[in-house]
Amino acid sequence: MTPVVAAYGIVSAIVLLWLVLRLARNPRNTALRSVTALVACLAIAFPFGAAADMGAHVLGLPPMISRLVQHGLLLVGVYSLVCFFLFSARERAAARRRAGWYAIPLLAAEAVLVVAALATPVSVRTNDQSVPSVAVFFIAADVFMAIGFAAAAVWAHRYAREAVGRLARGLRIAAIGLVAIVVANCLFVPAIVVTLLYDVGATDDSGSAGTALGAFAATFLLMPGVLLFLLGVTYPAVATRLGAMRIWWRHRRLHRQLAPLWTVLHSQFPDDALDRVPAAPWRDAFRLRGTHRRYYRRVVECRDGLVRISPYLTQTDDAADLPSRLKQALGAHAAGEPAPTKAIPVALPAGEGLDADVRELVRLARGLATRGAG
């Protein structure tokens, strides 16, 4: 098993698990069901293809039946890809009609595969395309897959021009992968014909890949094309998740940086705490949403505390001295001294928005930490 083939099996299994989890949250999404069915066919077909390559029996069935299951699933996967674009671009009723028409060549191709597989002697290797029945088997599969992937590549490229951002990039990557797959399937057909006419497969178990043309198509087009397609399909969601992880990491870091300021203010004004507790604290601690909630809560509590302590702050234009003045004000409040003034603005940001506000709070928190406040 080559590294590219192993990567195909691993990536398809990982992508299938991810899609199943998404489908469980949105089971009525027809387009998502279609792409999940595609990846499921790719993933399930992999072990049957590996068993056929090794000439192993699966559940007592001969290797050629494993080859039939593999390619039968691959053809269903291609049909699922066609349905994905149909249900993504058309109304449900129109998409169902077009999907019905595309099912006709699928059934015809599957019938050819079944007849060819049953006509192949048990002693024949599943990749020996010098045998007419095996050659017909692979030609039918490659022609159907080339047509289906070509249609999908055209649609993916068309939608990429209309889309923006991550979706557009993902569709372009998927289109490139689909084009590579189509070219590979188109090259496999003449390679099979060469194998059949010149009997080059009689001593070689690699089928059309045993020819220079077939080997090139399999190594540099088919497997990389499948990996690129899977990457393109998952790219928008993965990029979105990575962006969410970056925000989560920044909020987590800022939450910790605000700790010195929040600690001293919370000790003086514990009644300002937002005491809403999640239903499942342990699970909430590991969720992205829990980190965001704690971060926003700490920002609000810091601002509320500064409003409460501001009457004790002495007026000055020296912003750099604010940590020291805050420390003195906290001492005066703890001693029960009366507030000399009314509430005043504290640590006002230079810009607008929450980010600018948090930057000022972090600057103040660092100043307190440097002076050993708390």
CA 274 to chain centroid, in Å, comes to 35
Q: How confident is the model at residue 202 (pLDDT cuts 50, 70, 90)?
A: very low
Q: How confident is the model at residue 318 (pLDDT cuts 50, 70, 90)?
A: low
**133: number of Cβ within 10 Å:** 17
In this prediction, residue 4 carries a pLDDT of 60
Strands in the chain per DSSP E: none
Of 210, 221, 154, the residue nearest 187 (C-alpha): 221
Identity of the amino acid at 301: E
Contacting residues for 310 by C-beta, under 8 A, at least 6 apart: 329, 343, 344, 345, 346
Highest mean pLDDT among 132-141, 223-232, 274-283: 132-141
Query: In this predicted model, which residue has the larger pLDDT, 142 or 22?
Result: 142
- Cα(280)–Cα(271) distance, integer angstroms: 23
Residue 61 has phi, psi (to 5 degrees) of -90, 145
In this prediction, residue 78 carries a pLDDT of 93
- Cα(160)–Cα(182) distance, integer angstroms: 18
pTM of the model: 0.72
Largest CA distance in the chain: 103
Taking residues 304-325, what's their average pLDDT? 78
Give per-residue pLDDT as tens, 228-240: 988 898 898 888 8
In this prediction, residue 1 carries a pLDDT of 56
| Residue 306 pLDDT exceeds 80 | yes
Q: How confident is the model at residue 373 (pLDDT cuts 50, 70, 90)?
A: very low
Q: How confident is the model at residue 363 (pLDDT cuts 50, 70, 90)?
A: very high
* DSSP-derived 3-state class of residue 213: helix
Cα–Cα–Cα angle for 80, 85, 89, rounded to 5 degrees: 145
- Cα(27)–Cα(36) distance, integer angstroms: 11
Of 121, 126, 122, 128, the residue nearest 201 (C-alpha): 128
- Cα(369)–Cα(357) distance, integer angstroms: 19
The radius of gyration of the chain's CA atoms, rounded to the nearest angstrom, is 32
Taking residues 330-338, what's their average pLDDT? 87
Specify whether the CB–CB gap between 98 and 177 falls below 8 A. Answer: no
- Cα(85)–Cα(174) distance, integer angstroms: 12
- Cα(41)–Cα(51) distance, integer angstroms: 16
Specify whether the CB–CB gap between 136 and 116 falls below 8 A. Answer: yes
Give per-residue pLDDT as tens, 93-147: 888 898 899 999 999 999 999 999 999 998 888 888 889 999 999 999 999 999 9
Q: Is 55 buried (19+), middle (13-18) or exposed (0-12) by CB count in 10 A?
A: middle
